[in-house]
Amino acid sequence: MGYTYINGSVTAPKGFTASGIHCGIRKNKTKRDLALIFCEKKCTAAAVYTTNLVKSSPITVTKKNLEDGYAQAVIVNSGNANTCNADGIEKAELMCSLAAEKLGISAEDIIVGSTGVIGQILPIEPIRDGMEQLVAELSADGATNAAEAIMTTDTISKEVAVETTIAGKTVRVGGISKGSGMIHPNMATMLCFVTTDAAVSSDMIRKAVKTAADKTFNMISIDGDTSTNDTLSVMASGLAGNPEITEENEDYFVFLEALTAVCRDLARMMAKDGEGATKLLTCIVSGAKTGADAKGVAKSVICSSLLKAAMFGADANWGRVLCAIGYSGCDVDVEKVDVAFASKAGKIEVCKNGAGIEFSEEIAKTILVEDEIEILVDLNDGEGTAEAYGCDLTYEYVKINGDYRT
């Protein structure tokens, strides 16, 4: 591992400050609803977005603003998704303009995001009235406030930062994310904002963010719904002082490893904080004919509502794993498949060569009552490997989504 974890998140890299306030979009005054991330200099930047045909207006505006490969700030509100609104583009552009005016930068250098209820008009007045406070509170200690301000049904804020060395220079990568519902593979799957002080060209940032997303955020599923607002963006200030990364050389892969680590940790946090969830599920697939087959099987297993329900009940129903593998559409010889369940309480094999084997239900129960479960699938047919992340399906999930708007 070529990186180490450090305290902080989006303000850990050089040049970045952040803030988060309650401006009034949410009725609950105890919840922050407006976040800002700012860099003292223009950054190379890139983003990936939801594949849902219904996309939020902020995505349209952000795509346009990032066409030149640069950005200097991120402005995000929660409580209202600004999606399916006739004035959505206008409001997203206004958010950029209001922030740009107070920051003294161009509105085209701002990434904008929104999250919350779909189809309700976003009131711009609270954002306009809160912008002065939001900018005034920018600080190196403001990352946690920003992380809290982008939360919706999340129960915890999600932050992480790592440090690595590139060409003798210390480089940091940090991120915040939100997401616990409407989470399903096909990037993006949430809102995530990553910063780094590495010097990386726009082209290489674009390549790195796609590669990292495919290995991490695109391997999460909480409920099978791909959201309309999902965005993963990365801004690189270059203030670490390393020679600019302009090709896929050793420096690039060191940077990519650090970026992927940040994205993977945030992805796991999101999966564990799935709406109503009590357990983080990780499906680890080995022995696949290809990497694509491994990813397809891992995703299929982690997306199975029946398996998710079984994990909630600590039921070692391995047949549901085989069922999900069978309809994955991947090239699998089911008569070679081995399955085991594992947690900090131990490991138990439940299936060998596609058939059940004797095992202790009592020991299996002890393993599956833990809050982090590994579903180990060995296809015994090649070198392909993959991991996918999800959570159990609980009564609470239905309760949360039965009255989400009210």
Instruction: Write the CB contacts of 136 (distance below 8 Å, at least 6 apart in sequence).
Output: none
Q: How far apart are the first and last CA of the chain?
A: 46
Which of 189, 226, 260, 394 is labelled catalytic? 189
What DSSP character marks residue 254? H
**Sheet arrangement for strand 280-288:** 220-221, 384-391, 280-288, 372-378, 338-343, 346-352, 355-356
Alpha helices (runs of H) in 24-123, residue ranges in sequence order: 57-65, 88-103
Q: Is the dihedral of CA 134, 140, 144, 150 positive or negative?
A: positive
Q: Are 109 and 233 in contact (CB under 8 A)?
A: no
User: What is the CB neighbour count within 10 angstroms for residue 87?
Assistant: 13
Specify the length of the chain in residues: 406
Inter-residue contact 262 to 225 (CB < 8 Å): no
Q: Is 4 a catalytic residue?
A: no
- Tell me which DSSP letter residue 67 carries: T
User: Which tokens hold the place of 378?
Assistant: 């060995």
Q: Please identify which residue in the block is written with the tokens 């991991």.
A: 387
Q: How many CB atoms lie within 10 A of CB 265?
A: 19
Rounded to whole angstroms, the Cα distance separating 175 from 156 reads: 14
Torsion of CA 387, 218, 322, 340, to 10 degrees: 20
What's the rounded Cα separation, in Å, for the pair 193 and 327? 34
Rounded to whole angstroms, the Cα distance separating 397 from 403 reads 11
Q: Which residues contact 353 (CB under 8 A, 6 or more apart)?
A: 335, 336, 337, 338
d(CA 179, CA 21): 19
Q: Which residue has the tokens 């290809």?
A: 290
Residues assigned a catalytic role? 189
